[in-house]
């Protein structure tokens, strides 16, 4: 999760990113010419003559090929809980909801549908890379093939079938499901990189080099993000195996309003709600990650932030949120989620009532796919929503 915002890069948006570097790369294209038997500059470890030689003569990747690849790309189905309780895995791998269909999505739906900005390859081409707010049925919203039938039902029963309580165990279950989906999303990203690297076909050499350089940097980031996520998941596996959830740190905000947004995801907090930098995402070594979930409850709704072990980064991040006036919490979290979380589902009634300027402000945040301004979480003064009677439960050291 670098930062955790899984997206699909369409040919249009990627080509635009590369084109912006053309002038810089062209000036460097007169460097010493690569030999036919030299390793190819793309990092494939294949001789240049068998890799990128005459790449500019090959037919360019078409829109149809991009759409075809996107529609066929798959990640192997697996039960993410098998590493902690494989002996009890049973039933087929199902399309598990990261946000409860009956307990949460149905509460904000209109005619069985919610809104979502999830990338669709056809709409990305149609809108020149811009994401649209689209309807999605609650049966398909937030699903991924991440758990066997047994574990999806039994493991998550306390947050699916029972009245929600703000406990370390329930916060852990919410966080675990979010992390599992982030791993799946990163695996999906990783699987698309080889195709991404073919999109330099038919392009001049300096564009080929720019694309391969950018794709290589992207691949490196995805690999690091996946490694960190798997390490984080190891903490969850250990907690489930030992049945010890004391190391689970959490802050849960409960309120008496039906949520206007529901989400499940995780990020590496880079900045806090005052614009202070918390950690550098480019640094070597593991980063501090935090899971975030919004659910509907019988009393209204709840927002859960959760992580394992001591983390000054996550603690400062949460403290900067709670330091805001209570009536600003909903607005601040709305900014946060539209800025960082793709697995986000929106109440159609709330969204349709927003005035145009507020919609446009949130739509701009959705498009901040790869980079975020340092002040992106500083309250922008917009009035998106107000939660009724918020109360806070937490398990973090003072």
Mean pLDDT along residues 154-177: 96
Residue 15: per-residue pLDDT:
39
Segment 198-235, tens digit of pLDDT: 999 999 999 999 999 999 988 988 998 899 999 999 99
| Overall residue count recorded for the chain in this entry | 398
Segment 38-76, tens digit of pLDDT: 999 898 889 999 999 999 999 999 989 888 888 888 888
**pTM more than 0.75:** yes
Instruction: Please give the C-alpha separations between residue 257 and each of 263, 330, 387, in angstroms, as whole numbers.
Output: 16, 11, 6
Residue 22: per-residue pLDDT:
42
Which H or E run includes 316? helix 312-322
Instruction: Please give the C-alpha separations between residue 256 and each of 61, 296, 329, in angstroms, as whole numbers.
Output: 52, 10, 14
Domains of the chain, by residue range, sit at 1-398
Residue 89: per-residue pLDDT:
95
- pLDDT classification of 3: cutoffs 50, 70, 90: very low
Q: Which residues of 268-290 are buried (b: 16+ CB within 10 A; e: fewer)?
A: bbbbbbeeeebbeeeeeeebbbb
Beta strands per DSSP E along the chain: 93-97, 113-116, 134-137, 143-148, 248-255, 261-267, 290-296, 301-308, 344-346, 391-395
Which positions ≥6 away from 35 have C-beta within 8 Å? Answer: 48
pLDDT(310) > 50: yes
Segment 258-304, tens digit of pLDDT: 999 999 999 999 999 999 999 998 877 889 999 999 999 999 999 99
Is residue 395 within 8 Å of residue 249, measured between CB atoms?
yes
**In whole numbers, what is the pLDDT of the chain averaged over residues?**
88
Residue 69: per-residue pLDDT:
86
Residue 368: per-residue pLDDT:
85
Segment 322-336, tens digit of pLDDT: 999 999 999 999 999
Cα–Cα distance measured from residue 238 to residue 268, given in angstroms and rounded to the nearest whole number = 21
- pLDDT classification of 4: cutoffs 50, 70, 90: very low
Residue 127: per-residue pLDDT:
65
Cα–Cα distance measured from residue 307 to residue 285, given in angstroms and rounded to the nearest whole number = 18
């Amino acid at each position: 999760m670098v930062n955790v915002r899984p997206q699909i890069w369409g040919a249009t948006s990627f080509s635009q990113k590369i084109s912006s570097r053309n002038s810089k790369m062209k000036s460097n294209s007169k460097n010493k010419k690569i030999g036919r038997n030299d390793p190819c500059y793309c990092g494939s470890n294949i001789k240049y003559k068998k890799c990128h030689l005459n790449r500019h003569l090959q037919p360019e990747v078409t829109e149809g090929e991009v759409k075809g690849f996107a529609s066929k790309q798959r990640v192997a189905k697996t039960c993410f809980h098998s590493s902690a309780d494989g002996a009890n895995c049973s039933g087929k791998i199902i399309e598990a909801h990261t946000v409860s269909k009956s307990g949460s999505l149905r509460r904000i739906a209109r005619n069985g549908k919610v809104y979502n900005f999830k990338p669709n390859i056809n709409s990305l081409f149609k809108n020149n890379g811009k994401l649209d707010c689209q309807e999605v049925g609650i049966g398909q919203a937030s699903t991924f093939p991440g758990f066997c039938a047994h574990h999806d039902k039994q493991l998550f029963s306390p947050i699916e079938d029972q009245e929600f309580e703000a406990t370390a165990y329930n916060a852990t279950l919410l966080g675990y499901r979010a992390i599992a989906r982030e791993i799946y999303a990163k695996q999906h990203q990783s699987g698309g990189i080889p195709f991404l690297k073919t999109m330099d076909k038919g392009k001049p050499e300096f564009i080929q080099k720019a694309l391969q350089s950018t794709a290589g940097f992207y691949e490196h980031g995805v690999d690091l993000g996946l490694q960190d996520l798997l390490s984080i998941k190891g903490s969850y596996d250990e907690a489930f195996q030992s049945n010890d959830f004391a190391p689970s740190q959490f802050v849960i905000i409960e309120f008496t309003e039906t949520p206007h947004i529901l989400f499940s995801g995780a990020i590496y907090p880079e900045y806090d709600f005052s614009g202070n930098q918390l950690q550098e995402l480019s640094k070597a070594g593991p980063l501090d990650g935090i899971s975030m979930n919004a659910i509907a409850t019988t009393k209204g709704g709840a927002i859960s932030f959760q992580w394992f072990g001591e983390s000054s980064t996550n603690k400062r991040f949460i403290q900067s949120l709670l330091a805001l006036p209570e009536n600003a919490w909903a607005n601040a979290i709305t900014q946060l989620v539209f800025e960082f979380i793709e697995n986000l589902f929106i109440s159609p009634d709330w969204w349709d009532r927003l005035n145009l300027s507020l919609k446009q402000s949130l739509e701009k945040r959705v498009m901040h796919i790869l980079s975020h301004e340092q002040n992106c979480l500083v309250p922008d003064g917009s009035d998106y929503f107000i939660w009724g009677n918020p109360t806070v439960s937490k398990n973090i050291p003072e």
